[in-house]
Structure 1
Amino acid sequence: MVGRIDHLDGERFFEEDLNIFLNRELESFTTLQHTHDFVEICYVGEGCGYHYVEDQVLPVKQGDLFVIPIGTSHVFRPSSPKQDKMLVIYNCIFRKELLDSWHHLLQKDSITYTAIYRPAECRQRWLHVQDKHDTFSTIMQNMYREYLKRSTGFETVLTVMLIQMMVQLQRFEMINETETVSFRLLDEVIHYIKSKYTQNLTVQDVADYFFLSASHFQRLFKKSTGLSFTQYLQNVRIQKCCELLKSTDIPIYQIANQVGYQDMKFFHALFRKKTGVTPRQYRQNFQELDEADLSYMLQ
């Protein structure tokens, strides 16, 4: 599907005494999957398609950024050979020697640093991020314009912007690492909610308890559970209501109060939305079921 793997020599791109090259490429089906002896940063500027990296096929769209270390094979393909299905890639390729005088500015234990200087040690043969806030789009487009203008000192400016991109990539790594650590708190968060659900519990209460901002907590919680904090809390409360309705004769309004609901109109509407029946019907259904089971057992 992709064809044989070619090898691209940096001498085809780099001008004399210039260790960096940028272009804006409209991808097609003619380029072979290839490796190269330089580092490449690829940014999807327009359209969508596929990125063949090593033996994987990754769907890509505007905002996807890849760092391709030396020796990693890859190629981009548009989603269709038709001309109306475009895939535009900004490419920044550079010799790693370009950053030798600056590598002390990068964190040596980062994936970004390893991909550039020690590619054989990379856990993954490439680095992929989604540019959700157009951080890298701005840098890449500015670099491309600077490369085309060739004003005095443009290589120095390009090097500075490349370092800026490296630092932003490392910050992205740190955010992901922080989120991974935060996810480890999920069991504790769930336990906390289940122990406090009868109280007037809010997002801010839980976020404060675990030293997180409310917005960050909500994003982590939704990503991990698939539910918002409010949805999860409602499910816990309604589940407890069902247990009490089945196992006790406590009046319904008292059960609602016990699980944290004082507004009976809201409680009845929520219970019906979650279970499909009213609290009274739910209790009656289980009482009738229990009587039927008892009758069957006495036959």
Structure 2
Amino acid sequence: MKRHIEISTGDGFFEPGIPVYLNRVRESFSMYEHAHDFVEITYVCEGAGMHYIGHDTVQVSRGDLFFLPIGVSHVFRPVSPRNDRPLVVYNCLFPSEVLAELTRFYGMEPAIARLYEQLGAEQRWLKVHDRQEEAHRLFGSMFQEYTLRSPGFMPVLYADIVKLLVWMYRRWNRAGEPGSLPASAQLEELLWTIRRDCHLQYSVSEVSSTLNVGDRQFTRLFRKAAGMSFLEYVQNARIERSMDLLTSTVLTVREIALQTGYQDIKFFNRLFKKKTGLSPTQFRKQALGHASV
């Protein structure tokens, strides 16, 4: 079924002489997925829910911050349609020309300007997380300036937008580039965690959200990095652990299956034979027989 995507234009937001728009809105299920002809920075200031960005689905909560270039479609959804668990976000909108002017006028380092230029050219989004309320304070300041319109509010708004762009770049630079896996150290930590705790139940959505990438991006890039799918990697880690337990303990096959994350013993037996060519019992007998020679 074809998705309905609305196109939002800056004409409906920007006032003459004020090429910036800010609001604070409670998200609902009535909003359609939409794309726009301006840049949007959006910040989750209350609650939790989902953010649908193109073909990606990202779990969001207070502190999540997104840079959305022109052409990227998205929509927020709260956890529940009831008003008892609201999802509230700040939105900062401005034309791409303003972004280019600010990066030049404030003398941003080429690497910072290049990041946002690349995101725009490739229509890729960026997510970072605000752990120390820095972005929260910036958005509060910008919203106040925009609402009160005190003398000199536009230069202050521009300065705060620049601070926000620099802050997002710094957070991104520590976490890894958008649309790819985070820094190699973080990837290695993830792989090591899966091998160590292979009995846990992992989901792509939870892991990708933790690593600040979308589900589809994570799936594609994990395969490229690990040489196999995320599911295959988890299964291999579990089978390798079960092989160790079969040869180093007297646990039953059922106990080993449970300790490696499988409640369905028949499924475990089928998967083990698919991976090794032997059933768990045959593997144990063969391994122990070789060990006694």
TM-score, normalized by length of structure 1? Answer: 0.58
Q: Retained in 2: the 8 A contact 1:106–1:113?
A: no
Please give the alpha-carbon distance, in whole angstroms, between the structure 2 residues aligned to 1:60 and 1:138.
19
Please give the alpha-carbon distance, in whole angstroms, between the structure 1 residues aligned to 2:139 and 2:46.
13
The amino acid across from 1:62 in the alignment is: R
SS at match of 1:16: coil
In structure 2, the residue matched to 1:176 is 175
Q: 1:168 to 1:131 in 2, by over 3 A?
A: same
The alpha carbon displacement at 1:83 in A equals: 1.2
Please give the alpha-carbon distance, in whole angstroms, between the structure 2 residues aligned to 1:92 and 1:2.
29
Deviating 4+ runs (over 6 angstroms): none
SS at match of 1:101: helix
1:119 and 2:129 aligned: no
Q: Retained in 1: the 8 A contact 2:128–2:172?
A: no
In structure 2, the residue matched to 1:99 is 99
Alignment of 1:275-294 (within 5 A): none
Please give the alpha-carbon distance, in whole angstroms, between the structure 1 residues aligned to 2:117 and 2:92.
13
SS at match of 2:77: strand
The amino acid across from 2:108 in the alignment is: L
Aligned Cα root-mean-square deviation (Å): 3.0
Q: Which runs of 5+ in 1 are unaligned?
A: 187-220, 228-245, 247-292
Alignment of 1:65-214 (within 5 A): 65-104=65-104, 105-110=107-112, 113-116=114-117, 119-121=120-122, 125-177=124-176, 180=183, 182=185
Greater mean alpha carbon deviation, residues 97-106 or residues 16-25: 97-106
* CA deviation string 1:191-240 (max 9, x = no partner): xxxxxxxxxxxxxxxxxxxxxxxxxxxxxx6x67449xxxxxxxxxxxxx
The alpha carbon displacement at 1:44 in A equals: 0.3
The alpha carbon displacement at 1:171 in A equals: 1.1
Please give the alpha-carbon distance, in whole angstroms, between the structure 2 residues aligned to 1:85 and 1:177.
32
The amino acid across from 1:106 in the alignment is: M
The alpha carbon displacement at 1:103 in A equals: 1.4
The alpha carbon displacement at 1:106 in A equals: 2.8
In structure 1, the residue matched to 2:210 is none
Please give the alpha-carbon distance, in whole angstroms, between the structure 1 residues aligned to 2:58 and 2:119.
24
The amino acid across from 2:87 in the alignment is: L
Q: 1:50 to 1:157 in 2, by over 3 A?
A: same
* CA deviation string 1:169-206 (max 9, x = no partner): 1111222259825569x7xxxxxxxxxxxxxxxxxxxx
Please give the alpha-carbon distance, in whole angstroms, between the structure 1 residues aligned to 2:57 and 2:102.
34
The alpha carbon displacement at 1:121 in A equals: 2.8
Q: 1:86 to 1:27 in 2, by over 3 A?
A: same
In structure 2, the residue matched to 1:53 is 53
Greater mean alpha carbon deviation, residues 175-184 or residues 63-72: 175-184
Please give the alpha-carbon distance, in whole angstroms, between the structure 1 residues aligned to 2:3 and 2:41.
23
Please give the alpha-carbon distance, in whole angstroms, between the structure 1 residues aligned to 2:61 and 2:50.
8
Q: 1:118 to 1:61 in 2, by over 3 A?
A: closer
The alpha carbon displacement at 1:100 in A equals: 3.2
Q: 1:2 to 1:137 in 2, by over 3 A?
A: farther
SS at match of 2:101: coil
Q: 1:127 to 1:41 in 2, by over 3 A?
A: same
TM-score, normalized by length of structure 2? Answer: 0.59
Please give the alpha-carbon distance, in whole angstroms, between the structure 2 residues aligned to 1:57 and 1:118.
18
Q: Which runs of 5+ in 2 are unaligned?
A: 195-247, 249-287
* CA deviation string 1:64-110 (max 9, x = no partner): 10001000000111111111120001000011222333313334444
The amino acid across from 1:67 in the alignment is: F
SS at match of 1:29: coil
Please give the alpha-carbon distance, in whole angstroms, between the structure 1 residues aligned to 2:61 and 2:149.
30
Identity %: 36
Please give the alpha-carbon distance, in whole angstroms, between the structure 1 residues aligned to 2:167 and 2:108.
10
Alignment of 1:242-253 (within 5 A): none
Q: Retained in 2: the 8 A contact 1:49–1:87?
A: yes
